[in-house]
Each structure stands twice: as structure tokens, then as C-alpha cells.
A and B are shown apart, each in its own frame.
Chain A
Amino acid sequence: MAVFKINVNGQAHSVEAEPDMPVLWVLRDLLGLTGTKYGCGIGECGACAILVDGEDARGCQTPISDIGNKKITTIEGLAKNGLHPLQKAWIEHDVPQCGYCQTGHIMSAAALLQKTPNPTDAQIDEALGSHICRCGTYTRIKEAVKIAAKGGVK
């Protein structure tokens, strides 16, 4: 076991963990941040997407020892105040079905919009094409990303 000082959603935390523990389980089991989901454990589904220094990352493929001084953002810290434009678009456009994969989709979409404020269909496909939504909400996900990109829900 080792002690890691990490920054999650702007807050400093000190956690005791095995160096190979994926950030997914650090967040869920050690910090109680359960908005980041386990879906496959092999980086195939995107349910555990988080931001590491603003970059789209898979929580299940990122060991805690790789984090260092990098800042982690999870769904719980995505919005600075109230709701992020993507969250608003998701609600308004009624995207979720079971909802389990949605936080991962939103985090990857947030990484996309940060770099590409007005993404094309192909850019959205590229950013979210590695995710799985088992309920098949892809059409509404894509539409919600576009709504958020266009200035969001009125």
C-alpha cells in the first residue's frame, strides 16, 4: 500500500491504495464518487470515462500511480455551478434510458467540446464511438451533444 495525494474535482485527497489500483475503484470505493461506472474493466465500453487534466481517459485503465499531479474531473465535478450545458441538454433531450452509461458518455463529450466547440457528426462519432450504450440511446446522445454545442438549452 502507498499513499497518493490526488486532486479530484478541485479537492485534494489523500488515499492509501495499491499503486496499480485503477482510478475507477479509487473513486468508487475509496472516495465514494459512484457516478463513474464499471462496465467492462478492459477499456471497451467507456462507462468509466473521466477527465485527466481535461483529457478523456478510461478510469478502469488508469492506475492511480500514473496520476501524479494531474487533475481528475468526474461527473460529480463536471459543472462548476449547477449543471454543465451537456447535462442540461441530456435532461432536456431525454437521453437516458437505464442511465448507467450516460455519465461516461457525458464526460467524453465534455472532453470533445473543450477542444472542438462545434463538432461535426464525424467528430462526435470519433469521440464517442468507443462507448457502448446497451439501451441504444446513441441518436439522442448525438443530438444532445449538438444542442449543447450550439449554446445549449434555452
Chain B
Amino acid sequence: MSSLTRRTFLKLVGGVGASFALGTFTVACASPRGADAEALPDKGESFAPTVFLKIDPDGTCTMTISRSDMGQGVRTTFAMLVAEELDADWSKVKVTQAPGNSDVYGGQGTGGSSSTRTMNKTLRQVGAATRAMLVAAAAQQWKVDPSACKTEKGKVLGPSGQTLSYGELTTAAKAIPVPDLKSMKLKDRADYKIIGKATNRVDNTDVVTGKAMFGLDVHVDGMLYAACLRPPSFHGQSQQIDDSAARKVPGVVDVVPISSGVAVIGTNTWACLKGRDALKVDWSNANSGVSSETLRAALKQAVIEHKEMSGAKTLEANFELPYLAHATMEPLNAVADVRADSAEVWSGSQSPDGARDQIAEATGLSPEKVTMHTMILGGGFGRKFSNEWIGEAVNLSKHMKKPVKLLWTRECDMQHDIYRSMSEHALKAAIDAQGNPVGWSHQYLQAPGGGGGGGNYGNRTYLPYDFDNAFMRFGGISAPVPTGPWRSVEHTQIIVANECFVDEIAHAAGQDPFEFRRKHIKGDRLRKVLEMAAEKGNWGKPLPQGSGRGIACFDGYGSCIAHVVEVTVKGNQVKVDRMVAVVDVGTAINPRGVEAQVQGAFVDGISTSLKAAITVEKGGAVQNNWDGYEWARMTDVPKMEVYVADSGGGFGGMGEVGYPSGPPAIANAIFAATGKRVRKFPIKVEELV
């Protein structure tokens, strides 16, 4: 019981707001089979002064990752942060995923590009404190002052050439008191050996061999499978269910009505899918008159008079943006095993700690009886916060008294998403005789499921520019369409409209859109990335007839970015030929990961600028698979050059940063190519004005 008697609690600073249990906390393995489980030898001699790091006698350093990895690479960056201050041998670093439990790990919600920003200090302190304990243990053995020792690549080096590896020190280090994490002196940037180094993802080998465990890959002995038929409209309810044919499908075990549809339970997925197709269900639909057209008309009605403004010249423009699905590559799924006195769930969630609480509530069990295994997520983009699919799997397991793996088919996933809202943007600006902006008004009107928002003008304009008399109004209508965050959240709309319109103001002022932005940008960081993007993107150099170059920039999540994009417009076809992005994330932990995020976010930008939209008809989504909701493929993607221009500041966010200025750079390039403006996304050449 020594591990329990040694258990103490350590207060941590920062935005985490929780305590972390100390002692030899055993981290539950992330899956019943798979690579993570193997990474956790549970030997008595392991040294684990905090829940985030365990060192084994063989020198393996296992970092426990508390936030969810959906492709943004947090399992790699978090490990790098700990390893840096630990002076770990990177080749001996492994990671394991924390189960959902905010009592132990602090808040685990993963979104808003917040993980690195909120956790970097804590993780570096964990590395530094663990290193200090290892040094103290070595110094004791050598009978030297700890300050005379150094550390390097998983070893403590003594003043007279002595060497002890971290693995050799695990037992001795356990006797050293854990220092106050807050008192740890952290390295200066100049001393970083791991942070800032282009590093490959820790999960690559598992991914490319098919061993990586996504939620859908989990197998629990004796489990049943489930798939649902869901209503054609967003809030439809089953009125009458004829399951006679479904129950005759070989392998179908049961048909269970649930609040969101009808579940077919079977011995394999195919039986469930066939059973689902054989169901005959009458659905209610209270919103059969609702469509994208009616919602658009209502949004246009919600536009009011702009704030008064005067100047030598005024200009106005409206922009229309559609609903967007997240369409994560791995559709929603969960495996739930609910028993009388425990519940265990395996799923990819952006809110695993929230999931644990939701499971406890759904089962009536105390949270201590619930284990929420966070699997790696096959994409998130904001979709995997709400956990309703987990609740469904839990209820089905409870009902069937067996473990159940629930799959949301692609059709379920796309037609019952929690969408990025459609929006209407009404903009007006005034410029004086010298072309300086002297008035700006942006009405941002959404059609969310949860209400249309306030409606008053405010001073938060999301403009990084020094425009005078700038106001913004948030408003809109309430729609019977579920909505929620989508990569970059409100910036996917506001910045797109702002940066398109700023381009128009520059032209109205007779100024180059790059020079105009440069002149009016308030912050040095953003100005620098803009200037560098213009340089790298050959701003001002002529392009052939039919091609054009556009620019846009964004400042948010603690980071700055600028895009320069080249397009060619031929007939009704738009081809993106080149993308240059310069990004300043303060200090880039993993430049290779930053490049990946910026490239990936720009592919989102191409997809949502030129292809994808969810349209609503009869109160439901029209598109139900990739054939209708078209996403960029390899042939749509140009050369993408990403330059990481660190300003050396704090660790900025990354996951969201690459999106917002991509689409307006494309739209502005289309103007440069055609002389016509974009008013509607996704862009159709025949709709340019």
C-alpha cells in the first residue's frame, strides 16, 4: 500500500484549475488490445511522480496525454513539452492516452486551439520536477551537490564524469520529495533541444500498419453491433415502426427505438445495416416547410440599417455562407459495456471528461464506477464534443445487458451533424478622400439551432486594422437545425467576410490590397507575416491572363497567419494553383506539425470555398455522403508552401489558425483573375458579381 500512503496532492497554476494526484497512479490502458496497452509495463520500480509521466527501469518514459488527438498532433507536442524539460532521450519516449477524468487530469475538453496554450506550462513543470528528482537521487548516490550535475538525453552526468541513466535511478528517485511544480525554473528558449525541432508523430507506425486503435476498432468480447435509422428531418420522431422485415434479417438480434431514431442490434455490422434498410418507419416532421431558401430569406430579413457613416465614398456588400458538416473521416461511434456496478466506454471524444459525467448520469452510477477510454479520433473539427453518440451506446448496452458497438453510418453522421451555422454578412464601409477607412459596419447573422443571438452593435469587430468608427452586430434567427463549433468557430465566417470586404475597400481606395492591409494593420506580428507572405508569394509579379493572386490574413488563438493564393479561372472552373502561408505561432513546438496543420486547414479552405455545403430541404439535410458533400481530393490541391516565422513569444494555438484567411485569399484571387467579386460560398463562377 506504499503507493497510497505516498499519495499527496499538488496544486498547479494556470488555466487548468485542478489538482493532480501524485503517487504511483496507474493509468488505465486505452484499449483492450492495441499498441497503447503494450506501452505500459506495470513494474513496481517505475517512477511516476505525477500522473503525466512514468519512467521505467529500462529507461522508457511514458507520457500520459490528457487531451484528445484528432489529427492535430497533441500526443506528439505534449510529449515534446515534457521531454524538453526532462532532458529525455526522445527515442525512449512513449505516450499513452489518459481516460476521461477531470478530477485527475484537469479539464480535458479539446478545442479552440487551447490544449497547448493551457497545458504547456504544467507539462514543462512536470518534466522539470521529475528531472530535479532524478538529479537529486543521483547526487545523493555520488555524494555531490545536485547543482554540480547535468542532464542529457535520459542520463544524469556527475561532476567527475559519473553517469546514471534515468532508468537506473527510478527506485532511488521515489524517495526524493516531489518539489513544488510552480517553483521549477524552466529553460530559456535558447536551450531547447526538442521544442522547435521538426518531429514526426508518435503514432505514425501504428497508423500505417493498421494497429492504431480508433473507437471503431475496439473489440470487447461478447459485444453486439448497432446501427440506427434516423429521421429524414433534424428533429423528427418515429411515429410508427414496422420492424417485421428487419427482424428477419439473419444476424439481427433486436430492434430498439431510441429518442433519435431506431436502433438495429445485430451480431455484425452488416446485419445491422441490412436490418436498418428493411425498417419501415413513419417519421414526424414539424419543420417540413424549412429549407435553405426560407432560412436565407429570414436571415436577409434580419439585416437592419447599418450604423450611420459618412465619407468621400461608401460601399456595401453582403456575403452568404452555408451550413457545413464536419464529416470526420471516422464517423461517430462508441463501444459501451454497461454492467450493474460499472460502465466502460471506448470512444473518440473531444470532451472525454464530460463523457464520463454523462455516462455516470445515464447509468445512475457514480463517476468512480465509470471508465471512459479516449481513443485516437479519426478527425474531430469540433464535432466530437457533444457525446450524444456515447449516450446512445450506453443506453443500448444497458438495454441489451451486453457490450454494444454503435456505428453512425456516414449517412447518419452527415444528416445529423451539429453543423457550422449558415450565415449572412451585411457589410458597409466608408473611406475618406485619401482612401482611409472612416466607417465600418459588419452585421453577422446566423441561423443556429440554439437561438439567434443578441443583435446589438458592439466594438468587437475581429478587425486587426486601425479602421475608425468600426462596429459589429451579432444577430440572426433561430432555426430547427442543430449547430455548433466547426474548426476556427466564428472565424470561419467573420474573417472570411471581413477579408473579402477589406479587399474591396482597398480597391475602392485605389490601393494595392497588400499595401492597404500593411498600412492599416495594428500589430507587428501580423504585419511581419503579411510582408513575408507577400514576398514568398511573389506579390505584384504578373500572372497569365485568367489567373490571379489574392491575399488575406488572420490574427487569433495566440497566433498570426497570412495567405497568398494563386488561382486560374477557366470557363466555370476555378483551380487553385499555389498557396503560400506564413504563420507565427510564437514558438512552434513542432514545425513539422505546424506545416501539416496549415496545409490541412487550407484543404478545408479549398473544399468549403469551391465545393462543400449542406443544404436544407423539408427540415433535413439534403447531402448524406461524400457524393453530395464534395470534399477536395488530391487533384484539387496545389503546391502548398508553409513558412513558420516564429516571433519567439509564447506557445500559440495552431489547429484553428490555418483556416480563416484561406477562403478569402481564394475569393480575392478570383477577383484578381476575373474582376468579379464573390458574394456566396461555395463559390460558383456564374454567381460572381
Contact = CB atoms under 8 A, between A and B. Distances in A.
Interface of A: 1, 17-18, 20-22, 25, 28-30, 32-42, 44-45, 47, 74-76, 79, 83, 86-87, 90-92, 94-103, 106, 124-125, 128-142
- A interface majority secondary structure: loop
Contact of B410 (A35, A39, A92): A39
Interface string B171-184: 00000000000000
A131 B376 CA distance: 21
B379 A29 contact: no
B219 to A, nearest CB: 6
Closest 9 CB pairs of A and B: A35-B210, A136-B603, A100-B378, A98-B71, A97-B71, A99-B207, A136-B600, A34-B217, A75-B210
Given A18-B250, A136-B599, 16 more contacts: A1-B250, A17-B268, A17-B270, A20-B270, A20-B274, A38-B216, A39-B329, A47-B329, A74-B210, A76-B210, A83-B208, A96-B204, A98-B376, A99-B71, A101-B329, A132-B631
Interface in B179-233: 200-201, 203-205, 207-214, 216-217, 219, 225
Interface in B604-618: 604
Interface residues of B, number: 63
B600 A103 contact: no
Nearest to A42: B625
A132 B636 CA distance: 11
B210 A135 contact: no
A138 B637 contact: yes
A102 B207 contact: yes
A8 to B, nearest CB: 13
Given A42-B627, A74-B210, A76-B210, A90 B410 contact: no
Contacts of B213: 34
B596 A134 contact: no
A134 B331 CA distance: 11
Contacts of B429: none
Given A1-B250, A29-B270, A39-B329, A134 B627 contact: no
A129 B185 CA distance: 51
Interface string B117-154: 00000000000000000000000000000000000000
A47 to B, nearest CB: 7
28 contacts: A17-B270, A25-B269, A29-B225, A33-B210, A35-B211, A38-B269, A38-B331, A39-B329, A39-B330, A41-B409, A42-B410, A45-B329, A76-B209, A90-B204, A90-B208, A97-B72, A99-B203, A103-B210, A130-B633, A134-B328, A134-B379, A135-B329, A135-B379, A135-B600, A137-B596, A138-B637, A140-B599, A141-B634
B70 interface: yes
A36 B274 CA distance: 20
A18 B329 contact: no
Interface string B61-90: 000000001111100000000000000000
